Amino acid sequence: MGPSPTLLSRKEVDTLYEIFTSVIAALDILQVDYIVTGGSLLGCVRQHSILFCDDDIDIAIIDTEDGDGVSAYDKVRNHLGPLLGDDFIYSIRPWEGGDKVRLKRMSSVFLDIFTLRCYTTREEMVEEVIGRKTNGQRQEEEYVDTILTTMNECASSASLDGSTVQQTELFPCWHFNTRKAVEMWPKEVYRTNELFPLTENLRFGPLVNVKGPRMPVLLLRRAFGVDCFHVYFQSVSHHQNNKQKIKKKKEKGSKAIASDDA
């Protein structure tokens, strides 16, 4: 089950595994492939569990089309909620990066669902995702160049032993399908041969046969640094979430004291 968590209670960790189990079962029914990604992939490979300093589970569905031309994400968006049932809350795009799933009886923790799509050219990624603001206006060239430079540099330097290796052209490649997700995690980029065929034998807490990318070690060192299997720093987003949780607990405590004094 991994080391004792620092951001979550053991009950919350167990709830995350329960959510993940139900989501996997639903995706299997929908015949939609997924991988664990981000800190969840690092947890799978590094300690076979949720990282002790993590507070959610991250997965990404592979956005391909079936024989009828229906995308994997459309299947998930239209059918995941009913498949999960009334005990769960499936939120479609509650934030710019992706979807979320919570268990009603313990809604303090959640599973993030991102979507990976294939970009055949640099121009396609710029025009359809990172080159446009939410309001449809064009992004500044400096913003776009920063993201693309980060993607190219990390994908050209990462190797299994951390040495510098000249790689082939980055595109076509797989990345998240929302501007916000690409902006926040530009290093989580996959060449097709690095992603496929998917690994299907990862362990994650009580779960086995969890899916991940074909080259998880290479991709983790690319995203988190060559020392990611020895050193782990809590991400900024998780650090902010933890501060918010502490603040809420303090506010509840203050309200309780005020009520007792009244």
Residue indicated by tokens 């807490």? 205
Higher pLDDT among residues 245 and 70, named by residue: 70
Cα of 220 vs its chain's centroid, Å = 13
Cα of 45 vs its chain's centroid, Å = 15
* Phi, psi angle pair for 59, to nearest 5°: -130, 160
Q: What is the pLDDT of residue 156?
A: 82
- 247 burial level (CB within 10 Å; 0-12, 13-18, 19+): exposed
- Using the predicted structure, report yes or no on whether residue 9 has a pLDDT greater than 50: yes
Going by the DSSP 8-state scheme, the letter that residue 127 receives in this structure is I
**Nearest of 93, 2, 84, 90 to residue 39 by alpha carbon:** 2
The string of pLDDT tens digits covering residues 57-73 is 999 999 999 989 999 99
Distance separating alpha carbons of residues 41 and 94, to the nearest angstrom: 23
Q: Rounded to two decimals, what is the model's pTM? A: 0.87
Kindly give the residue spans of alpha helices, DSSP state H, lying in the chain: 10-30, 38-47, 72-84, 122-125, 141-157, 179-184, 192-195, 216-224, 236-261
Q: What is the pLDDT of residue 190?
A: 95
Question: Mean pLDDT for the chain?
Answer: 88
Q: What is the pLDDT of residue 257?
A: 36
The string of pLDDT tens digits covering residues 21-55 is 999 999 999 999 999 999 999 999 999 999 988 99
Domains of the chain with CATH codes: 10-116+174-252 (3.30.460)
- Using the predicted structure, report yes or no on whether residue 234 has a pLDDT greater than 90: no
Cα of 49 vs its chain's centroid, Å = 15
The string of pLDDT tens digits covering residues 112-122 is 999 999 999 99
What number is the average pLDDT over the span 1-23?
89
- Using the predicted structure, report yes or no on whether residue 85 has a pLDDT greater than 90: yes
